Amino acid sequence: MIRRLTGMLLAVALAGCAANSGNDSGQAGMRSGEISEQALGGVGAEPGSIAYFQALTGDRVFFEVDESTLSAEAVSILDAQVEWLSVHRRYTATVEGHADERGTREYNLALGVRRAVSVRNYLVSQGIAADRIAIVTFGKERPVETCSNEFCWSVNRRAVTVLAEAAVS
């Protein structure tokens, strides 16, 4: 319960940070069965929409320093993504890998790839078709927060699942 509440508070804080920075695609994910108009920015998101996915399921997972291993909390969020993507097959996903500002550009690009691959591999292992999931790395190039302290670094060490409607052939 405390972990879930902490996660929701962090998600609310990240939503504010993401809205202020304009650097990150999507909004911070929330884990909650209840969705209010306020949590969705007053847009009245439709079930099955991308905004609904971001608010209900959560669109990002976080990593420890120099890690690409999924935490238990990350797996929980990814399990919710698997459930949502299994029902809403009209969407494809691009997993963006990100890193904090420490380290070289090359190192952080490689770390972003490892994080995105870790998320993609988990989604595929749980039954999401591999051809529905692409990956991209941004390394340290698209921070959510720009300051040199642990809070900023921790929110920048992430993988974000960005949805798009699949092209109809």
Q: Which SS3 state, helix, strand or coil, does residue 35 take?
A: coil
Q: Indicate the pTM of the whole model.
A: 0.74
The pLDDT score that the predictor gives to residue 124 is 98
Cα 159 from Cα 62, distance rounded (Å) = 7
The pLDDT score that the predictor gives to residue 79 is 98
Cα 132 from Cα 10, distance rounded (Å) = 29
Q: Where are the alpha helices (DSSP H) in the chain?
A: 2-21, 50-52, 72-87, 105-125, 150-156
Domains of the chain, each with CATH number or no CATH: 60-165 (3.30.1330.60)
Q: Which residues of 81-98 are buried (b: 16+ CB within 10 A; e: fewer)?
A: bbebbeebeebbbbbbbb
Type of residue numbered 13: A
147 vs 128, residue with greater confidence = 128
Type of residue numbered 136: V
Q: Which SS3 state, helix, strand or coil, does residue 18 take?
A: helix
pLDDT at 33 over 80: no
pLDDT tens-digit map of 69-99: 999 999 999 999 999 999 999 999 999 999 9
Q: Which SS3 state, helix, strand or coil, does residue 67 take?
A: coil
